[in-house]
Structure 1
Amino acid sequence: MAVPHYAYLKMKMPGTKGIITISGDYEKSSACAAASSRLAESLVIAAEKKLLEWVVAMAGKQPDMSPEVKESETQGSFKPAKETKKIPLDPEHPERHSVIGTNLDSK
């Protein structure tokens, strides 16, 4: 049932003789944050290096792969409705409109 307050580096909790307050050290907190940031960055770099090595190895095994993207891969699955209707949003500004399909299901 402790309540931490990270901005003030304090933690309060109930004790047998009243509230116990524990204070943190800003310098130690800053040093720990910097060290954990360096550790996280080194782990990300190591993971990216491993992935890059794997990609290079796979490219070396299959030199006949072309980097060109197939047309079917560039097309999305979204198909616009063939019959649409423009609904004006503002009568004073005809360029502001919404387009909806005319054959929409009632659901």
Structure 2
Amino acid sequence: ELLKIYIVIIFFAKGTARRKKKVVHRTATADDKKLQFSLKKLGVNNISGIEEVNMFTNQGTVIHFNNPKVQASLAANTFTITGHAETKQLTEMLPSILNQLGADSLTSLRRLAEALPKQ
């Protein structure tokens, strides 16, 4: 009990320096600059001529980028896609993405089509 009181007196007594932790606020632009610098070190190059990017998820949704900025570094096995992303359901994108679907996506599309009449 006396030890606790002694510790409180030593650390919180009048005249002792109080250490304050400096809070560093980061902005999104600072993070973007760091990311671009790291990508520059990897040696990424811009790839032009890509109009859209669709990423298919296991949940049946599509992450759709319209007119993205695509960069790649084959040596580092790194691809970056930047731009405005929209998460859409697979059924919303159906007519335009049929030629982009792989075998596993086609099976999930069949399961989705079988589930629709039941509802």
Q: TM-score of the superposition, structure 1-length normalised?
A: 0.29
Task: Please report the TM-score for the alignment, with normalisation by the length of structure 2.
Answer: 0.28
Larger radius of gyration: 1
Higher relative contact order (CA 8 A, sep 6+): 2
